[in-house]
Amino acid sequence: MTDHTAIITGATRGLGYECARALLERGDSWHVVLAVRDMERGRDAASRLGDAARCTVMRCDLASLDSVRSFVAECRKADVPPITALVCNAGLQVLSQTRSADGIELTFAANHLGHFALVLGLLDELARPARIVIVSSGTHDPAKRTGMPAPRYTSAQELAEASADPGEPPETAGRRRYTTSKLCNVLFAYELDRRLGHGSKDVTVDVFDPGLMPGSGLARNYAPWQRFAWRFVLPLMRVLPQVHSTRASGQRLAALVADARFAGVSGRYFDGLKDVPSSSDSYDLEMADDLWSTSEHLCGLRGPVGGTGPAAELR
């Protein structure tokens, strides 16, 4: 008996695919919606998962708000079991300044804004109790010394316009846009948790840090030698605490979605399955409010979150 549906973005490979696999392996209770940009790759992923009856492939390009709107509308009509989980996993890292279909800086658009529109668009479609898990990264926290440039949060409008880039080399600026987008993920999750009453409305919101995952696809825009190291050298370092296989991290992510021990746990940051503090900036209420209000404006959203009426309505 299939009782639950989890929507997973970026599920054609890497962490999202392994999360889908882990949920399906838990027995017949889970159905997964693979929210993907490329339908052909999505159908291939569903085939490799080996349980077509419990997989639905739907197009969702997070770098296009029109695509997100279409996905939300399709989900509302989809013949799937009750939706009880949203896994905001998809992410990209680009080393050149690129714009989305809506003219927004691509990293900010795909890693934060598309998920913001998706979550608020589907909030009232969730069957309670429900869980939202947003995938971030340890790179959002400069105290962790990950080797990535520290986030630089100026304002959400400047991030969307990429108008505050400090004239760094393109690769450095691109990586900094990535780490800043990962900070935005945490700011969004915590603000959503606050607006939903810290789980009191039967929707929990948590953040997942999967650690460093060689083979995740984030290095696809790197130089050839860097891609080689990402694919063949870094896997040899899995003995280190923060280096994990996508399979292991996918299982941990699925645990946050499905395990009874995390029921009612909300507003927390999980390094794997360990509840730990996030960066100091991630608790900044002014940053969170700025990010929320600007994201609402950019997405054309209205309506109170957590009220008795629609949580958010896409215009």
Q: Any idea which residues carry the catalytic annotation?
A: 178
Residue 92 three-state SS: coil
Distance, in Å, from the CA atom of 78 to the CA atom of 76, rounded to the nearest integer, reads: 6
CA distance 238 to 182: 23
Rounded to a whole number of angstroms, the distance between the first and last alpha carbons of the chain is 37
Say if residues 37 and 25 touch (Cβ distance below 8 Å): no
What's the token pair of residue 250?
Answer: 């996918």
Structure token pair of residue 37:
């940009």
d(CA 56, CA 285): 37
Q: Three-state SS for 195? A: helix
